[in-house]
A and B are shown apart, each in its own frame.
Chain A
Amino acid sequence: MSTDPLKLTPVEGIKARSDYLRGTLAQSLADDVTGAIADDDTQVSKFHGIYQQDDRDVREDRRRQMLEPDYQFMIRARVPGGVCTPEQWLTMDAIARRWANNSVRITTRQAFQFHGVLKHNLKSSIRTINRALLDTIAACGDVNRNVMVTTLPEQSAFHREVFEHAKSFSDHLTPNTTAYHEIWLNDGNSRRKVEASRDSEPIYGETYLPRKFKTAFAIPPRNDVDVFAHDLGYIAIRDGAEGGLAGFNVTVAGGMGATHGDPNTYPRLADVLGFCTPDQVNEVGKQIVSIQRDFGDRTERRHARFKYTVADRGLDWLHDELEKRLGYRLQQAREFSFTHTGDLYGWQRTDDGLWNLALFIENGRVADKGIRHHLTGLRKIAKIHKGEFRLTPNQNLVIAGVHESDRVAIDHLVRAHGLDDHATVSPLRLNSMACVGFPTCALAMAESERYLPELVCKIENLLEKHNLTDQGITIRMTGCPNGCARPYLAEIGLVGKGPGMYNLHLGAAWDGSRLNQMHQENIGEEEVLISLDKLFSAYSAKRLDKEHFGNFLFRTGVIAANESHRNQKENAS
């Protein structure tokens, strides 16, 4: 870690000066002649779960109109494991309609996202989220983000047990600062904290982590969380097939983000480091976070994720450093196997005799549009539902814990509001996922959420042509290379490069154990379709029984054997 303050990134300076995440947010909120907050505060606000964005569709118009960009905010509410109550759902629904753009966005990290919130509505929105016993702190920023858990539609008790560990870890890693309460929740004007109760951050320190940090808990055989895409992962291991929780395999140093044209940045699959017992979860995680805090690169944000810290130093170093901090070495990793990264749709009877219903929500956007009245339908369901909701890592929704006797009523509402896509749309669409992208995301280079549904239609036609309609294929699109929708783990990945242009990635494993490879760079729709047409033709003719598309491409050498970037890097050093 560089300690030379001259070389630190500007964001490090902003964090250091922010006085535990205060910055000048209070003043920025009070300045009512601009819809924006001060530049430095746009970094600080992320730690509070708030991104400043603007409606990029009207950016150019507004420049000519001599108006500032149409600033608005994305608010991300943290929902550990994606588990929330019907009351919380109703609150989110109300916020969406009152202060946001009439939609709730379920994210790839099982969080709620609101878009289009104006500055003067931020406080009300955040207070309302907190009144519903959810929060937004650390939903973004250089901290441990929303902790994910496999939604596991078929095993209730085991899910609950793993979820409790995830929730406990999430709480353990939540920042300590009182700035969040002070700015958003206190009555009246934001007051300076009392001098006596000086903030401290025993885990993070006052500059927090060098970069965001992502944690997921996976429950085999389902890998819906894409556990290898995270900085830190816990794979639940049972004592025998039906036994209780023995502990977790710990995975480290995965991550999606890359930058176009910078070969020093790359997506990386996590390594399985070892095994820990349930009581060791928080301590192991905390020490791994502290290693990243101390060794992560604070001079270059592109190189600041934990995956680079580990890739640069090697797994042996990490083992040793972790042992030094823990006082013990992790046990040998246990056996496990995954089947799929997607969701199991429809009704599933759970081991406790209740029912779970997994609904397909295209790209996680819950809104009323066309024949689909998802926002209204789910509001009505939330009013009668007695169990819980689970947001899935694929941006879908599970209505969990339904009594047999309540299924009819829920089925009725599902059909009446067009929420039954899971029963009607193609397996390709059911395994599709796009990030938000235009018009709100500042990073988007190409369309994603607004475009993927249309592209899927065209690919469906190709699949039909090759008699592959019933074949599930994971397809993911992002508007930029940062990887919010985990495009590098899709059998077909489309990574935005410019308006209408994408890098076509192919060949990831159906179970999330192999990254895809870039097949063609910077191509438009027509070329994408031509390439897929050829490959589908070969796949249809030469695939083995039940062979998935990505595995086929890999086996037949269309996608070169690739040991993932980390090994190139490690071999080179």
Chain B
Amino acid sequence: MSVRALDIPLAPSAVADEIHLLYGSHTGNGEAVAETLADNARQSGFRVSLRSLADIRPAALKKMRHAAFVMSTHGDGDPPDDAIDVFEWLESGGSNDLKALQFRVLALGDSSYTEFCAAGRQLANALVKRGATEVAPMVECDVDFADDAERWSNELLEWCRENLTSNAANESPGTPVAASGTSPTLQGIPITPGWSRTRPFPAIVERVQKITGLESEKDVYHLELSLEGSGFQYLPGDSLGVWADNDPELVSRLLRKLEIEPSELVDDDGRIRSIRDTLTRHREITRLNPNVLEAWAKRDQTRARGKLARQLAQYADSQRKQFLEERQLPDLAEAFPLKLDAQELADLLPALGSRSYSIASSMSMVDEEVHLTVATLHSNAIGVARRGVASNHLNHRIQAGDEIRVFLEPNRRFRLPKDNGAPIIMIGAGTGIAPYRAFMQEIEESNRQSENWLIFGNPYRRTDFLYQREWLKWRSKGLLNRIDAAFSRDQAEKRYVQHVVADQGQEISRWIEDGAHIYICGGLAMGHAVEEALIDAIAIGRNIDRDAAKQSISNLRRERRLLKDLY
């Protein structure tokens, strides 16, 4: 799938400087950026070493002179698994031992999260602290990374040509070497002809079906979209990016509260639109970020009574975070009303981001369709029912026949093993089961001979075992060797997937020894708990101490046999 058309390394000259291209990538996007840069750098005559951070000994950094890092951030500002060992080493002390190193960082992130690009920043700071020199400021890319990544790559190559020795000085001097200029052209990413995040494909919705039972506390839907005409080719493990409008009702309420006329026109980056349109389709109003909160507090101070700022001042970081998580913009407006005009409001808010969902289908079974498993995010934390913008849109506002704007988000870090016989253990909670449905569809349609094990958790068996009929069918057909479930509320004491993992230490160790790949998908907290439980399970299963077990988890990670898709 991810064929690199230009992967023809030129013979390195003895005099050429070596550039280390190192990536810590969660979804494989960073890896793709690094690969493209590597190709271009080789064509420019440099010696290139392209590796994942997981594949180097951290101390090897001491010997490097020129390095470029592509660093993605996930969840709450954490570095990807690949980079954990390097981060720990960097922060373990040490003095000016990286003095010889000149580097630059490209940070990938998602601006809808609070800690945007935090891992990239953390890396740059740590390197500088140990004596390395940052040759140019870090570039931060949002989900829509292609253009920024290309700019960074070109600048970097430019710098290399000016400062380093290559053995191809005559080749197309001074011109950017990146492939063809328009995004997205990064190699290694499946090409989605003509469609991108900024130019999404209008997919027709074919089915919207609730899949939690009548009395469930969870509101989970199964969606089927038609990709006919898109040319999309996705693989099990990939995600689908989705654009969703804000709830018009929520927008109206917000504007009423702020006493702004909905039809008032604003300038949205050169385009003139009504404030209602701007908020509905182009601004984030359901996820609050620290900048908005800060700006709101500031205005509250100058124009109202400053209550918000006083309240925030008393908060510890964790309280501030909770405050943000529990509220949407209309809640803020409700509690701390401000006098704002339409343009100020538009300028204050970040652009509406897309949402991404792990794909729950395999093209080998569903052809030109894509299936999603979407839980309606809802919160009643502050006594008002609030729903997530996209999940609510998908589950409750659209119906069969409607259009939804989508684009592919390949995830090369969450694929079935290349070895058809390698066993897989699929661990997931809630909608984290989605990619495993894609895996099983793929397995059913292909000749994979592997042993497969599902470990799933949700509150109640009766209502919350997502796609239960299919899992039972796969089990009775012998395609799925085991299902272990943790239905947290079906017994007196709550039981979660990590408890199943802990209980199954011996068996999991045996599977790992047989070459099993372990997948974890679901919420971040669950992911952490499962990983801890895995360490315990291995320690007990192999009768080794916890540090050794931790080491063996690190090894699995490095061998890409411990794969995670957490959100």
Contacts and interface: CB of A to CB of B under 8 A. Distances in A.
Interface string B463-483: 101111111100100000001
Contacts of B466: 66
Interface string B75-117: 0000000000000000000000000000000000000000000
B461 interface: yes
A124 to B, nearest CB: 11
Interface in A23-78: 32-35, 58, 61-68, 70
B222 A33 contact: no
B529 interface: no
Nearest to A36: B472
A67 B469 CA distance: 5
Contact of A65 (B212, B461, B487, B491): B212
Q: Which of A58, A63, A67 has the most CB of B within 10 A?
A: A67
A68 B469 contact: yes
B463 A67 contact: yes
Nearest to B466: A66
Contacts of B467: 66
B272 to A, nearest CB: 46
Contacts of A120: 490-491
Interface residues on A, range: 10 to 19
A35 B461 contact: yes
A126 B472 CA distance: 27
* Chain A facing B: main interface SS: loop
Nearest to A55: B214
B211 A33 contact: no
Interface in B186-214: 209-214
A32 B461 contact: yes
A118 interface: yes
Given A65-B212, A66-B211, A118 B462 contact: yes
A63 B222 CA distance: 13
B533 interface: no
B516 interface: no
Given A32-B461, A32-B490, A120-B491, A65 B485 contact: no
Nearest to A34: B472
A440 to B, nearest CB: 15
Contact of B465 (A58, A64, A67, A118): A67
A33 B480 CA distance: 13
A358 to B, nearest CB: 38
A35 B463 CA distance: 11
Contact of B462 (A35, A61, A63, A66): A35
Contacts of B214: 58, 61
Given A32-B490, A118-B462, A67 B485 contact: no
Contacts of A118: 462
B462 A33 contact: no
Contacts of B465: 33, 67
Contacts of B490: 32, 120
Given A66-B222, A66-B470, A32 B463 contact: no
B485 A33 contact: yes
Contacts of A35: 461-462
A67 B213 contact: yes
A70 B211 contact: no
A198 B222 CA distance: 52
Given A66-B222, A66-B467, A120-B490, A33 B472 contact: yes
A58 B213 CA distance: 9
Interface in B430-472: 461-463, 465-472
Nearest to A121: B490
B483 A66 contact: no
B479 to A, nearest CB: 15
A118 B213 CA distance: 15
B468 A66 contact: yes
A173 B214 CA distance: 43
A33 B483 contact: yes
Nearest to A120: B490
B470 to A, nearest CB: 6
A64 B209 contact: yes
A62 B485 contact: no
A68 B213 CA distance: 10
A156 B222 CA distance: 63
A33 B209 contact: no
A65 B210 contact: yes
A62 B487 contact: no
Contact of A67 (B468, B487, B491): B468
Contacts of A62: 213
Interface string B512-541: 000000000000000000000000000000
A65 B462 contact: no
A66 B469 CA distance: 5
A33 B461 CA distance: 7
A63 B467 CA distance: 10
A34 B472 CA distance: 8
A36 to B, nearest CB: 9
Nearest to B221: A65
A65 B213 contact: yes
B211 A65 contact: yes
A504 B461 CA distance: 42
Interface in A68-124: 68, 70, 118, 120
18 contacts: A32-B461, A33-B461, A33-B465, A33-B468, A33-B483, A34-B468, A58-B213, A58-B214, A63-B469, A66-B209, A66-B466, A67-B465, A67-B469, A68-B468, A68-B469, A68-B472, A70-B213, A118-B462
Given A32-B461, A65-B213, A120-B490, 18 more contacts: A32-B485, A32-B487, A32-B490, A33-B468, A33-B475, A33-B483, A35-B461, A58-B213, A61-B214, A62-B213, A65-B210, A66-B209, A66-B466, A66-B470, A67-B468, A68-B472, A70-B213, A120-B491
Interface of B: 209-214, 222, 461-463, 465-472, 475, 483-485, 487, 490-491
The 5 A-B residue pairs whose C-beta atoms are closest, nearest first, are A33-B483, A33-B485, A65-B211, A66-B469, A67-B468
